Amino acid sequence: MTVSPDSDPRANQKQRTRTAIVDAAIALLATGCRPTVSEAATAAKVSRATAYRYFPTQDSLLVEAAAHGPVEPIETLVAAQTGGDARARFAELQAAFNALVGEEEAAMRMALRSYLDAWFAARERGTLTPDVRQGRRMRWIAATLAPARGTLAPDTAQRLSAALALTLGIEPLLVMKDICRLDDAAARDTLQWMAKTLLEAALTEQSGTRNDD
C-alpha cells in the first residue's frame, strides 16, 4: 500500500525539520547576519549533521531562505484585487511591497547578496546559472495590470511590465538610497512617480495608436 506524504509521519517530521532550519536562517538574516548552516542548525535546535543533510552548503541554505521572504501579505493583497483600474491596482501593490522592503531592508539586502553569491558560485563551477528567483514580481505585475490587458498591445504590455519591475523591490531601493542618496520617504515617492509616469505613457501611447487606426 502506498502511503501519501501527508499521512507519513517521517515525511512530516523531515518537512518540519527543514522548515525549522529555513525559519532560523530567515530570522538570522533579519538581524543582518549571513548565517552558516551550523549557525542555522544551532538556532533551530537541530544537530549540525542533520542540517547539512538538508543543506550541504551555505549558499543552498541562503538561497532557500531568500526565496521564503516575508511576502505573504503581498500575495494576499494581489489575490484580493478583483476589480478596479490598473493604475490604482499597481499603485496599491507598489506601496505595500516597497513599504515591506523598507521594513525588511537588512533581510532583503542579504537575500540579494545570496542570489548574487549563488550566481557567482555557479559561474565559477562552469555550471548553468541557478534559477534562484521565483519571478513573483512579474506575476504580481501581470495580475495588477489585468484590467488593462484588453487595451494594451502584447508588445506594449510586455515592455510596460518589464519597466514596472524596476520600480519594485530591493534593487531600485538600493539605487535610490545608495546612489541617489535619497531617504526612505523620498525613495518611495520617486519610485511611485516613476511607475505612474510609465503607466500613463503606455496607456496614452496605446490610446493614440487606436485613434490613428
| Degrees to nearest 5, angle at CA 135 with 66 and 104 | 40
Q: How many angstroms separate the first and last alpha carbons of the chain?
A: 65
Residue 69: per-residue pLDDT = 65
Per-residue pLDDT tens digits for 18-57: 889 988 998 888 787 888 999 999 999 999 999 999 888 8
Closest residue by Cα to residue 143 from 203, 100, 79, 71? 79
Percent of the chain with pLDDT over 90: 48
- Distance, CA of 16 to CA of 101 (rounded, Å): 27
- pLDDT tens figures, 138-147: 999 999 999 9
Q: For the chain, what is the HEC assignment? A: CCCCHHHCHHHHHHHHHHHHHHHHHHHHHHCCCCCCHHHHHHHHCCCHHHHHHHCCCHHHHHHHHHHCCCCHHHHHHHHHCCCCCHHHHHHHHHHHHHHHHHHCHHHHHHHHHHHHHHHHHHHHHCCCCCCCCCCHHHHHHHHHCHHHCCCCCHHHHHHHHHHHHHHCCHHHHHHHHHHCCCCHHHHHHHHHHHHHHHHHHHHHHHHHHHHHC
Residue 35: burial class (beta carbons within 10 Å; 0-12, 13-18, 19+):
buried
Q: Could you give the angle at the alpha carbon of 46 between the alpha carbons of 110 and 59, nearest 5°?
A: 30
* pTM reported for the whole predicted model: 0.72
131 compared with 153, residue with greater pLDDT: 153
Are residues 110 and 70 in contact, defined by beta-carbon separation less than 8 angstroms?
no
Mean pLDDT of 107-131: 76
pLDDT value of position 1: 43
pLDDT number for residue 207: 64
CA angle 19, 25, 28 (to 5 degrees): 140
Res 71: pLDDT: 80
